[in-house]
Amino acid sequence: MMRTFLVLMDSVGCGGAPDAAAFGDEGANTLGHIAAECAAGRADLGRAGPLRMPNLDALGLGAAMRLASGQAAPRLEAVPKGRWGAATEVSMGKDTPSGHWELAGVPVPWDWTYFPDTVPAFPPDLVAEVCRLAGVGGILGNCHASGTAIIDLFGAAHMRTGWPICYTSADSVFQIAAHEEVFGLERLVKLCADLAPTLHAMKVGRAIARPFVGSEGDFHRTGNRRDFAIAPPAPTLLDWVADAGRATHAVGKIGDIFSGRGIGRLWKGKDDAALFEHLLTLADVAEEGSLTFANFVEFDSNFGHRRDVAGYARQLEWFDRRVGAFLARMRAGDLVIFTADHGNDPTWRGTEHTRERVPVVCAGVGAGEIGFCGFVDVAASVAAHLGVPAQGSGRSFL
């Protein structure tokens, strides 16, 4: 019996989405533009020279980018030894749940609710509900913002008043930042959990607890983030595998994104380095016939939204080095798929996700071009490899 590891490099898009212009993202290319900046010597902070990702490039990462966008990059020119292609999303969003659910076989069937980029951003009745649940007289923020910038702006006022900092983005989210010691971590998590049903009824995708610590001038977020996501509208790949009696493992924020459905065991960690240690462990201990679904979020959260090209490049190169150790632990018959859920081009205007195709590169199933595929084809391919019934519309590319 075979195992599958589905590994999400959060936001590592490769350009070329056919509907990018509708999202204001025509020309965005996360991987391609990072590689170009590195080759031009404009991403040498903490690293130097062209982008180096030899392990993933050997599987077809550079080839997938060239297919998706027509853009080539120095040092991403290997002749692929794996299966490779580029996937296109059909859900009308460039957010985390849309990308993950569709990769798991379930496109989003509704339009998400997005909050306007105004001040205030939230309707009065929603603000009143937050205040009631939190037992406070008001909120801070009430706007679109970067999660790191807003705690610098309102952190001191939050510590004086005890009011939660509420903000959103171009995604369908309601985020609440609060100090772990002054406001309390458990209180923050409970507030988001209690508010989530109201948001989900509005078709807002996630309530997100964003705890931070520190003092004025030195606030920083912790690894205790919690996402309370609306449940997928139909059984996903995780359900298909679990219903077939197989083991399922969720690494990182997968458990939150899928509301715990179809997940046998959660593997959490304070950062991507800790999560990769879990992935290495699972390479050794995951059961025959099992699915491991992992998300590595720091490409997106630490570097994409912050438009930090050098930091994103460092993270890509670190990840690729760890991939080498991971692949060395694979067993005969294992399938590993590396892909992404959307883009977040750090050279792009603004601070939000970008609509892009995503690379799909596979180890363990020989070499060859997949070509263009759909996000849902990833789920169908995993199901085919594991020998479990697929319930979605995708077709296996294996």
Helices within the chain (DSSP H only): 30-39, 54-59, 61-69, 96-103, 124-134, 147-161, 185-201, 237-243, 254-257, 272-285, 298, 309-327, 375-386
CATH of the domain at 68: 3.40.720.10
Q: Same domain for 154 and 302?
A: no
Residue 239 lies in a domain: yes
Q: Confirm whether residue 171 is marked as ligand binding.
A: no
pTM (predicted TM-score): 0.90
Q: How many domains does the chain have?
A: 2
Q: Confirm whether residue 144 is marked as ligand binding.
A: no
The pLDDT value recorded for residue 148 is 84
Q: Same domain for 175 and 32?
A: no
Residue 118 lies in a domain: no
Per-residue model confidence as pLDDT tens digits over 131-188: 999 999 999 999 999 888 899 999 999 999 999 999 998 889 999 999 999 999 999 9
Per-residue model confidence as pLDDT tens digits over 300-344: 999 999 999 999 999 999 999 999 999 999 999 999 999 999 999
Q: Same domain for 216 and 239?
A: no
Separation between Cα atoms, residue 307 and residue 397, nearest integer Å: 34
Q: Same domain for 259 and 365?
A: yes
Q: Confirm whether residue 227 is marked as ligand binding.
A: no
Q: How confident is the model at residue 231 (pLDDT cuts 50, 70, 90)?
A: very high
Q: Confirm whether residue 341 is marked as ligand binding.
A: yes
The fraction of the chain above a pLDDT of 90, given in percent, is 94
Q: Same domain for 264 and 339?
A: yes
The pLDDT value recorded for residue 79 is 96
Residue 393 lies in a domain: no
Per-residue model confidence as pLDDT tens digits over 183-213: 999 999 999 999 999 999 999 999 999 999 9
Q: Same domain for 17 and 102?
A: yes
Q: Same domain for 251 and 332?
A: yes
Q: Confirm whether residue 10 is marked as ligand binding.
A: yes
Per-residue model confidence as pLDDT tens digits over 93-110: 899 999 999 999 999 999
Q: Confirm whether residue 218 is marked as ligand binding.
A: no
Nearest to 86 by CA among 369, 383, 304: 369
Per-residue model confidence as pLDDT tens digits over 384-395: 999 999 998 999
Residue 114 lies in a domain: no
